[in-house]
Amino acid sequence: MYRLIISHETRSLARTGALWAILALLVFAIGFAAFAGGRAITRQAKGAADAVAFENGERAKMRQDTEAYAAEVAASGGTYEFATVNHVPGRGPPQGTNAGVVGAETAAYVVLPPTGLAALSIGQSDVQLNYLPASMGTTLDMIKNLETENPVNLQTGPFDIAFVVIFLLPIFILAMTYDLLSSEKERGTLAMILAHPVSLRELMASKIVARAAVILAVVVGFGLLALLSVGTQLDQAETWVRFALWIIATLLYSLFWFSLAVLVNVYGRSSATNGTILAGIWLILVVVVPTLVSLLATTLYPAPSRMDLIVAAREAQTAGEKNMGSALDRFYSEHMDQVPTGDQRAMDFLTLAQANAANIEKALLPLYEQFREQSLHQEGLVQRFQYLSPAIMMQLALNEISGTSTARYQDFLDQAFRFRSQWNDFFASRFLKREPLRPADYDQFPSFSYVPESLTTVLGRLATSLAGLLLVCAGVTLLPFVGLRRYQVAAR
Amino acid sequence: MLEAIDLKKTYGDYQALKGLNLRVNGGDIYCLLGANGAGKTTTINLFLNFVTPTSGVARVNGIDVNADPLQTKRYLAYIPEQVMLYGNLTGMENLEYFARLGGHDEYSADDYRGFLRRVGLQEDAAGRRVKTYSKGMRQKVGVAIALAKQARALLLDEPTSGLDPKASNEFSELLVQLKSEGAAILMATHDLFRAKETGTRIGIMRGGQLVQELSTDEVSHADLERIYLEHMH
């Protein structure tokens, strides 16, 4: 019986022009989103690669200079010396021998590699830079291009596949189902059908299956196509695990909207009323609630503004400068390149600058901590309030699955900060001891390699959102099947 | 065979049906007459389990409709005032769908064509989409569905209202054929003339009650109209 009704419904749907228009739109939206997502990922990857290549090139040049200098020293039998800050190009030791210069004037980029599914949900990754410069100096230099004041969690984000799934898919589903029973009732075919040995429940379930099959075939099929066309790391099992999770989440989310349409239909109002009610619910759950939760998060736990950071950095710097003694010292410390050649004080000023940076860094530490805390608070609040709307749960789930979640980024930042201090220590210790860098030292520079989170960590974070979706779905799915008992087929 | 035993239906304070007792045997065409709101449609909806009775029992083929609605619907065919079909499917496709919903998977395309021919649908119409059909054509498809379903009992709710006299006459002839094959037919109607011509028994309803039952061969057209009007005053 189910099969008969499903095939009948499919045939009826296939002969409905409006359905083809809806599907064409959906396919177009997915295609465009995949294109946009793929382009964003490519752009990020290219930006990171360019930055890394540029800095590596700078260091390679310095290394060449030191190699030439080493050869020269070996030939003349002189000593291999440490370059002063201000030197005449081509004479004396090159800048590449000075650890302070190499460590501060070139940067090592730390790069967060995208997951295989990154293109499906760009999330915040367009404002969360996926590559950051690590160099001597302060952490502030590293994160100054980060968008810290961004209303973190729940921005609509770019037009990616997650957007299509979260915002547009419900509209397509509701367009196909808002009059699921009411249209048959209004047309009079419901009475014809129910005069046959078919229960309302069978009819309803079959109608849903027919529509769900159409929509999901399109979403999963085109999602897969999109993944294949823009995805990366397709050879890794983890990518396919993530894709399976993506499909599960999409299934649950779709089921929610289908069930909601059934629930509204069960109350037996007119198609027009059902449509209005469902559109209202969509607006509240997909637009209003997420906006309010985001607003609540940023109001309750505002991130310290970037201005606060900069002001604090200035204050620390001013305090440091007071200790610097004479006006001349201060002048030279600001115009290091104008210190006369051979003036030993130049080195002192560099040392002072290094000490100064350490001071500023120390002064800013509480602020960084505050950032981190506020960001964690915001994230925690969104995590707690996500159960108010399936759209939030879905956004969090998709971000997690695609590797663009706040938690993964925070983990990357932690790794990046650790690497920066490693980089800083490596060069600072050599510089302060005036140890000249030799060509071979260039192979000893710290290098960053991202440690990916384990899949269990990701699954653990994902579990709350998915479990929430599952619960809401179960609730909304079961209700109509209880309510169907009271459905009035005939008007009194 | 259709049977109502002390069947009652109330909506809040309103009593739509006040204890109906009715029996339609195979080979009978039982015509329910009465003004709008007399309870004719409620009676039919109760047999279809579209509404649940407040008390009393409706039986189809001896089975309680409320206890096992799906089983009773195997024996029933329903032809409402407007037989509503799927407009974007052809007459053949509609017939096939409803026949199979009724549990009959055994028919071939020729069988379906045969049913449609038997009810007098034009040959070329069978393959056309139903949205191009007139009401008369749709009512014929309704009868074809009843034929295909091999219905033991038919419930008709003013099936001929709005049909032109020729179409109405053709429809009535089909009913007489079904009756002669042993179907029990319950028809709500306003058409006293057709009731006398095709019906075997007549029940007059008023205010949710059956006020008089008579056999059509006992009365003339004029008598029937007089009796009916007496009850309506």
Closest CA to B29 of B190, B178, B170, B231: B178
Say if A114 falls within a structural domain: yes
Each residue of A203-256: pLDDT tens digit? Answer: 988 998 899 888 888 878 877 887 787 766 778 888 889 888 998 999 899 989
Cβ atoms of residues A393 and A386 within 8 Å:
yes
Cβ atoms of residues B72 and B46 within 8 Å:
no
Asked if the model's pLDDT at residue A158 lies above 80, the reply is: no
- State which H helix or E strand residue A355 sits in: helix A345-385
Say if A465 falls within a structural domain: yes
Using the structure block, give the residue that is written with the tokens 């995208």.
Answer: A114
Q: Distance (Å) from the C-alpha of residue B203 to the closest C-alpha of chain A?
A: 22
Is B70 within 8 Å of A492 when comparing Cβ atoms?
no
* One domain for residues B68 and B44: yes
Asked if the model's pLDDT at residue A422 lies above 60, the reply is: yes
Q: Pick B97's closest partner by Cβ from A8, A15, A187.
A: A8
Q: Pick A489's closest partner by Cβ from B50, B88, B98.
A: B50
* One domain for residues B161 and B202: yes
- For residue A8, what are its two tokens? 């009948």
Average the pLDDT over A431-445 and give the result: 87
Q: In the prediction, which pLDDT does A348 show?
A: 67
Is A197 within 8 Å of B86 when comparing Cβ atoms?
no
- For residue A124, what are its two tokens? 């915040």
Task: Give A380 or A122, the one with higher predicted confidence.
Answer: A380
CB burial of residue B58 (10 Å; 0-12, 13-18, 19+): buried
* Pairwise CA distance, residues A179 & A37, whole Å: 34
Cβ atoms of residues A66 and A97 within 8 Å:
yes
- For residue A411, what are its two tokens? 């983990």
Phi first, then psi, for residue A290 (nearest 5°) are -60, -40
A265: left (phi over 0), alpha (psi -120 to 50) or beta: alpha
Helix axes A17-76, A200-230, angle to 10 degrees: 30
- State which H helix or E strand residue B117 sits in: helix B109-118
* One domain for residues B165 and B122: no
Q: In which band, very low, low, confident or very high, does the pLDDT at A339 lie, cut at 50, 70 and 90?
A: low
Q: What is the DSSP string of A176-216?
A: HHTTTTHHHHHHTHHHHHHTSS--HHHHHHHHHHHHHHHHH
Residues spanned by the domain of A102: 1-291+391-492
Residues spanned by the domain of B203: 2-75+152-232
Asked if the model's pLDDT at residue A306 lies above 70, the reply is: no
- For residue A158, what are its two tokens? 């770019």
CATH number at residue B20: 3.40.50.300
Q: Distance (Å) from the C-alpha of residue A479 to the closest C-alpha of chain B?
A: 21
Is B89 within 8 Å of A189 when comparing Cβ atoms?
no
Q: In which band, very low, low, confident or very high, does the pLDDT at A151 lie, cut at 50, 70 and 90?
A: very low
- For residue B125, what are its two tokens? 């119409």
Provide, rounded to the nearest whole percent, the portion of chain A with pLDDT above 90: 24
- State which H helix or E strand residue A424 sits in: helix A406-432
Is B88 within 8 Å of A197 when comparing Cβ atoms?
no
Residue that is last in its domain, among B109, B131, B150: B150
Asked if the model's pLDDT at residue A152 lies above 60, the reply is: no
Closest CA to B25 of B175, B157, B154: B154
* One domain for residues B56 and B20: yes
Q: Distance (Å) from the C-alpha of residue B142 to the closest C-alpha of chain A?
A: 9
Q: Is B86 on the interface with A (CB under 8 A)?
A: yes
Q: In the prediction, which pLDDT does A333 show?
A: 63
Q: In the prediction, which pLDDT does A338 show?
A: 61
* Mutation site for B-interface testing, chosen from A9, A196, A489, A492 by largest number of B Cβ within 10 Å: A196
B-chain CB neighbours of A268 within 8 Å are: none
Is A1 within 8 Å of B89 when comparing Cβ atoms?
no
Asked if the model's pLDDT at residue A149 lies above 70, the reply is: no
* Amino acid found at B201: R
Q: Pick B101's closest partner by Cβ from A4, A191, A488.
A: A4
* Amino acid found at B90: T
Cα nearest neighbour of A11 on chain B? B89
* One domain for residues B69 and B158: yes
Average the pLDDT over A467-483 and give the result: 84
ipTM: 0.91
3-class secondary structure, A85: coil
Mean pLDDT estimate for chain A: 83
* Pairwise CA distance, residues A275 & A410, whole Å: 42
Say if A300 falls within a structural domain: no
Q: Is B131 on the interface with A (CB under 8 A)?
A: no
Q: Is A198 on the interface with B (CB under 8 A)?
A: yes
Q: Distance (Å) from the C-alpha of residue A218 to the closest C-alpha of chain B?
A: 24
Q: In the prediction, which pLDDT does A343 show?
A: 59
Q: Distance (Å) from the C-alpha of residue B110 to the closest C-alpha of chain A?
A: 20
Q: In which band, very low, low, confident or very high, does the pLDDT at A87 lie, cut at 50, 70 and 90?
A: low
Phi first, then psi, for residue A474 (nearest 5°) are -60, -45
Q: In the prediction, which pLDDT does A7 show?
A: 92
Cα nearest neighbour of B72 on chain A? A197
* Pairwise CA distance, residues A220 & A197, whole Å: 35
Is B101 within 8 Å of A1 when comparing Cβ atoms?
yes
Is A196 within 8 Å of B98 when comparing Cβ atoms?
yes
Q: Pick B76's closest partner by Cβ from A8, A187, A195.
A: A195
Phi first, then psi, for residue B156 (nearest 5°) are -120, 130
Domain total in chain B: 2
| From A68-82, A171-185, A474-488, the region with the lowest mean pLDDT | A474-488
* DSSP at B90: B
Mean pLDDT estimate for chain B: 91
* Amino acid found at A243: F
Q: Is B88 on the interface with A (CB under 8 A)?
A: yes
Contacts for A73-81 with beta carbons within 8 Å, 24 or more apart?
A80/A436, A80/A438, A81/A436
Q: Distance (Å) from the C-alpha of residue A473 to the closest C-alpha of chain B?
A: 29
Q: Pick B82's closest partner by Cβ from A4, A188, A489.
A: A188
Q: In which band, very low, low, confident or very high, does the pLDDT at A140 lie, cut at 50, 70 and 90?
A: confident
* Pairwise CA distance, residues A403 & B143, whole Å: 61
Q: In the prediction, which pLDDT does A150 show?
A: 47
Q: Is A319 on the interface with B (CB under 8 A)?
A: no
Q: Is B77 on the interface with A (CB under 8 A)?
A: yes
Query: From residue B145, how far is each of A208, B51, B93, B137 by CA, in Å?
Result: 26, 23, 11, 13
- State which H helix or E strand residue A34 sits in: helix A17-76
B-chain CB neighbours of A188 within 8 Å are: 80, 82, 84
Residue that is last in its domain, among B120, B150, B180: B150
* Cα pseudo-dihedral B112, B114, B118, B120, rounded to 10: 80
Domain total in chain A: 1
Q: Pick A16's closest partner by Cβ from B84, B88, B100.
A: B88
Is B82 within 8 Å of A193 when comparing Cβ atoms?
no
Sign of the alpha-carbon torsion through A256, A213, A219, A176: negative
Q: In which band, very low, low, confident or very high, does the pLDDT at A92 lie, cut at 50, 70 and 90?
A: confident
Q: Pick B84's closest partner by Cβ from A8, A189, A490.
A: A189
* One domain for residues B14 and B58: yes
The pTM for the full model equals: 0.83
Residue A491: CB atoms within 10 Å: 10
* Pairwise CA distance, residues B145 & B142, whole Å: 5
Is A197 within 8 Å of B70 when comparing Cβ atoms?
yes
Residue A316 C-alpha from the chain's centroid: 33
E strands in B65-152: 76-79
Q: Distance (Å) from the C-alpha of residue A168 to the closest C-alpha of chain B?
A: 28
Q: Is B101 on the interface with A (CB under 8 A)?
A: yes
Each residue of B112-161: pLDDT tens digit? Answer: 999 999 888 888 999 999 999 998 899 999 999 999 999 999 999 998 88
B-chain CB neighbours of A1 within 8 Å are: 101
* One domain for residues B143 and B172: no
Q: In which band, very low, low, confident or very high, does the pLDDT at A90 lie, cut at 50, 70 and 90?
A: low
Is A188 within 8 Å of B84 when comparing Cβ atoms?
yes
Asked if the model's pLDDT at residue A330 lies above 80, the reply is: no
- For residue B180, what are its two tokens? 């002669």
* One domain for residues B198 and B131: no
B-chain CB neighbours of A193 within 8 Å are: 98, 101
Average the pLDDT over A37-54 and give the result: 88
Phi first, then psi, for residue B121 (nearest 5°) are -80, 135
* One domain for residues B146 and B168: no
Q: Pick B11's closest partner by Cβ from A11, A194, A492.
A: A492
Average the pLDDT over A371-379 and give the result: 82
B-chain CB neighbours of A2 within 8 Å are: none
Asked if the model's pLDDT at residue A435 lies above 80, the reply is: yes
Cα nearest neighbour of B10 on chain A? A492
Residue B149 C-alpha from the chain's centroid: 14
Asked if the model's pLDDT at residue A154 lies above 60, the reply is: no
Sheet harboring B63-64: ordered strands across? B14-24, B2-11, B55-60, B63-64
Q: In which band, very low, low, confident or very high, does the pLDDT at A157 lie, cut at 50, 70 and 90?
A: low
Is A12 within 8 Å of B100 when comparing Cβ atoms?
no
* Pairwise CA distance, residues A51 & A39, whole Å: 18
Q: Could you tell me the maximum CA-CA distance found in chain A, to the nearest angstrom?
A: 111
* Pairwise CA distance, residues B192 & B214, whole Å: 13
Say if A249 falls within a structural domain: yes
* DSSP at A114: P
Residue that is last in its domain, among B150, B181, B208: B150
* Pairwise CA distance, residues B152 & B75, whole Å: 5
Is B88 within 8 Å of A15 when comparing Cβ atoms?
yes
Asked if the model's pLDDT at residue A124 lies above 50, the reply is: yes
Residues 157-216 of chain B with CB under 8 A from chain A are none
* Pairwise CA distance, residues B199 & B24, whole Å: 11
Q: Is B64 on the interface with A (CB under 8 A)?
A: no
- For residue A267, what are its two tokens? 């109350």
- Tens place of pLDDT for every residue, chain B, 233 residues? 899 999 999 988 899 999 999 999 999 999 999 998 899 999 999 999 998 999 999 999 999 998 999 999 999 999 999 899 999 899 999 999 999 999 999 999 999 999 999 888 888 999 999 999 998 899 999 999 999 999 999 999 998 888 888 888 988 999 999 999 999 999 999 999 989 989 999 999 999 999 999 999 988 999 999 999 998 87
CB pairs under 8 A between A and B: 73
Asked if the model's pLDDT at residue A33 lies above 90, the reply is: no
Cα nearest neighbour of B94 on chain A? A8
